[in-house]
């Protein structure tokens, strides 16, 4: 009964959020690489400032490790002749003599010197460090070649200036993206839910138009325009049905009444039976076409018990004629949302079905309620598991040699139930016989 079932498979393709997040991540990465490139290029053009940064970095390392003598620190990678020691501000300048120091004289201060030596460069300098709340001066010197000694500085720079600012920024953007996308797509999701809730047979419904965003608004309006066109098509179909009814029924009436005027003969009886069969078939096909085109107003409240009494009263003479008994019972609140004449036809077709399929003299029990449901139960053989999948199929008959029905009655019932957004269920009743139950929507509690 759920024909939307196959179209409700999991959604295909990435979500908009994922698309935006992927693009954002790629953009962040590109930005980071660009940033790194700029840092590397800038520093490689300024070896002086690189040297400066390198010594500051090493001094910071020494500052952090009070236990080790600065000499035992590893020094920059690939550095040769690494030397480091503390100098006192009042110390004899000659204490630095064993090293090839060519420091500026005067009071001690931070300084850096980079000079070319054969096979590379030599960097020396002094940094002030604070250890145990005491300011000390650290003299450092090493020789190196190429970019390798600078790697820690460059890495440090990248961490400081690229990664640290970019990561929180990207995370913030991603978070913002989650909220923004959710928020912006909310009207779309609402529209989706409304489209899902659309009853293909109730074209009176329209999607509610969200004022923004404009993209969603235009989509919703386009869907509504399509629904209107569908509505018009339905109207044409209904018009055709009415015309077809008129065109077919009048000649059938003439045929039937003419046959009555013929002198009695077996041939006349056969022809009368044939005409009646054809009349029934045409009637059911038109009923089915009308059921297919039925649009149930969503706010009409009917009393299932009233309709049940009416149909039972109408059909009782015919049922009594067949030496059968027809009983009606109402249980509890029997109000439902629906189309009275359509529900009348549901009852009628179910009673006709019971008349046709349960043997003579067994009673037919019609019940309304409790709640928005009706049921028709016969005392016939019930329905076999083998037949169960077919009983609602159009033009299906258990025994095709029988010519009294077209196999459309239960199809009409199912169609009319669906037009109400209702369901039809069939079971074998305890004690034998088939029990058909149609459930409708209940009106609002205070409606």
Contact between residue 1 and residue 418 where contact means Cβ atoms under 8 Å apart: yes
Spatial separation of the C-alpha atoms in residues 278 and 122, rounded to whole Å:
112
Task: Output DSSP code: residue 137.
Answer: E
Q: Does 205 bind another protein (CB under 8 A)?
A: no
Q: Does 190 bind another protein (CB under 8 A)?
A: no
Instruction: Tell me: does residue 432 bind another protein (CB under 8 A).
Output: no
Whole-number Å distance between alpha carbons of 88 and 224: 87
* Binding residue for another protein, selected from 340, 356, 441, 442, defined by CB under 8 A: 340
93 interacts with another protein by CB under 8 A = no
Among 19, 22, 44, 258, binds another protein (CB under 8 A): 258
Contacts made by residues 339-342, CB under 8 angstroms, sequence distance 24+: 339/294, 339/296, 339/297, 339/300, 339/302, 339/419, 339/420, 340/300, 340/302, 340/307, 342/291, 342/294, 342/296, 342/416, 342/419, 342/420
- State the Rg of the chain over Cα: 46
Nearer to another protein (CB atom), residue 230 or residue 254 = 254
Interacting residue with another protein among 321, 386, 399, 444 (CB under 8 A): 321
Q: Does 73 bind another protein (CB under 8 A)?
A: no
- CB nearer another protein, residue 241 or residue 375: 241
Give the HSE-up count for residue 328: Cα atoms under 13 Å, Cβ half-sphere.
19
Smallest distance, another protein to C-beta of residue 197, A: 24
Of 316, 356, 429, 442, the one binding another protein (CB under 8 A) is 316
Q: Are 391 and 410 in contact (CB under 8 A)?
A: yes
Q: How far apart are CA 227 and CA 234, in angstroms?
A: 10
Residues 241 and 286: beta-carbon distance below 8 Å? yes
Q: Which is nearer to another protein, 63 or 306 (CB)?
A: 306
Nearer to another protein (CB atom), residue 313 or residue 425: 313
In this structure, are strands 364-368 and 373-377 parallel, antiparallel, or unpaired?
antiparallel
Q: Quick check: 329 binds another protein (CB under 8 A)? A: yes
245 belongs to the binding site for another protein (CB under 8 A): yes
DSSP string for 413-442: HHHHHHHTT-EEEEEEPTTSSEEEEEE-BP
Using CB under 8 A as the binding rule, whether residue 290 contacts another protein is answered as yes
Q: Is residue 99 close enough to count as binding another protein by CB under 8 A?
A: no
In the structure encoding, which two tokens stand for residue 45, read together? Answer: 């053009």
The one among 115, 192, 325, 361 contacting another protein by CB under 8 A: 325
- Smallest distance, another protein to C-beta of residue 275, A: 8
Contact 249, 374 (CB under 8 A): no
**Closest distance to another protein from the beta carbon of 303 (Å):** 13
Q: How far is the CB of 422 from another protein (least distance, A)?
A: 16
374 binds another protein (CB under 8 A): no
Q: Any contact of residue 268 with another protein (CB under 8 A)? A: no
Phi, psi of 103 (to 5 degrees): -80, 155
- CB nearer another protein, residue 17 or residue 344: 344
Q: List the one residue from 49, 256, 423, 428 that touches another protein (CB under 8 A).
A: 256
Options 61, 136, 238, 437; binder of another protein; rule CB under 8 A: 238
Tell how far CA 171 is from the center of its chain: 26
Q: Which of 260, 299, 386, 399 binds another protein (CB under 8 A)?
A: 260
Q: Which of these segments, 16-24, 145-153, 243-251, 393-401, binds another protein (CB under 8 A)?
A: 243-251
Tell me: does residue 327 bind another protein (CB under 8 A).
Answer: yes
Nearest to another protein of 31, 344 (CB atom): 344
> CB 407 → another protein: shortest distance, Å?
20
300 touches another protein by CB under 8 A: no
- Alpha carbon separation from 377 to 104, 329, 335, 364, 431 (Å, rounded): 113, 12, 21, 6, 11
In the bound complex, what is the minimum distance in angstroms from residue 413's beta carbon to another protein? 14
Examine residue 250 and tell whether it contacts another protein (CB under 8 A): yes
Q: Which of 222, 254, 267, 425 binds another protein (CB under 8 A)?
A: 254
Q: Show Cβ contacts of residue 334 under 8 Å, excluding neighbours closer than 6 positions.
A: 303, 304, 305, 308, 368, 369, 370, 371, 372
Q: Which two tokens stand for residue 258?
A: 């003419």
Of 412, 244, 276, nearest to 341 (Cα)?
412
What residues pair up with 327 in beta bridges, in sequence order? 365
- Which residue of 207, 342, 383, 408 would you call a contact of another protein, by CB under 8 A? 342
Residues 6+ apart with CB under 8 A from 204: 231, 295, 297, 298
> Residue numbers of the site for another protein (CB under 8 A)?
238, 241-242, 245-250, 252-258, 260-261, 279, 283, 286-287, 290, 294, 309, 312-314, 316-318, 320-321, 325-330, 339-342, 345, 366
């Amino acid at each position: 009964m759920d024909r939307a079932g196959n179209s409700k498979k999991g959604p295909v393709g990435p979500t908009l959020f994922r698309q935006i997040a992927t693009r954002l991540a790629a953009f962040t990465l590109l930005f980071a690489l660009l940033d790194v490139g700029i840092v590397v290029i800038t520093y490689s053009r300024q070896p002086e400032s690189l040297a400066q940064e390198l010594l500051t970095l090493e001094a910071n390392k020494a500052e952090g490790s009070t236990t080790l003598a600065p000499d035992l620190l590893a020094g920059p990678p690939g550095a040769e002749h690494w030397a480091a020691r503390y100098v006192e501000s009042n110390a004899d300048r000659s204490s630095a003599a064993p090293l090839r120091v060519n420091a500026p004289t005067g009071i001690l201060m931070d300084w850096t010197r980079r000079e070319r030596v054969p096979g590379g460069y030599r960097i020396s300098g002094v940094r002030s460090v604070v250890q145990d709340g005491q300011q000390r001066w650290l003299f450092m010197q090493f020789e190196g070649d190429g970019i390798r000694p600078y790697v820690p500085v460059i890495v440090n720079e990248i961490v400081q200036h690229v990664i640290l600012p970019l990561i929180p920024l990207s995370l913030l953007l991603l978070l913002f993206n989650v909220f923004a996308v959710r928020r912006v797509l909310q009207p779309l999701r609402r529209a989706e839910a409304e489209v899902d809730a659309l009853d293909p047979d109730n074209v009176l419904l329209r999607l509610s138009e969200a004022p923004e965003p404009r993209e969603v608004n235009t989509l919703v309006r386009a869907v509504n325009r399509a629904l209107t066109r569908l509505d018009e098509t339905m109207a044409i179909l209904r018009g055709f049905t009415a015309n077809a009814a008129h065109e077919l029924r009048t000649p059938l009436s003439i045929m039937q009444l003419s046959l009555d005027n013929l002198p009695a003969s077996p041939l006349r009886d056969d022809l009368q039976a044939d005409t009646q069969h054809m009349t029934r078939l045409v009637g059911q096909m038109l009923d089915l076409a009308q059921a297919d085109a039925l649009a149930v107003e969503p706010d009409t409240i009917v009393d299932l018990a009233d309709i049940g009494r009416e149909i039972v009263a109408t059909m009782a003479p015919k049922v009594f004629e067949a030496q059968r008994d027809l009983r009606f019972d109402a249980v509890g609140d029997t109000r439902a949302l629906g189309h009275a004449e359509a529900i009348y036809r549901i009852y009628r077709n179910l009673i006709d079905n019971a008349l046709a399929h349960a043997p003579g003299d067994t009673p037919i029990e019609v019940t309304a309620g409790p709640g928005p449901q009706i049921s028709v139960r016969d005392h016939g053989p019930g329905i076999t598991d083998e037949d169960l999948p077919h009983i609602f199929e159009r033009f299906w008959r258990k025994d095709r040699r029988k010519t009294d029905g077209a196999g459309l009655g239960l199809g009409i019932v199912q169609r009319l139930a669906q037009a109400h957004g209702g369901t039809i269920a069939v079971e074998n009743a305890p004690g034998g016989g088939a029990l058909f139950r149609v459930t409708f929507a209940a009106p609002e509690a205070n409606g």
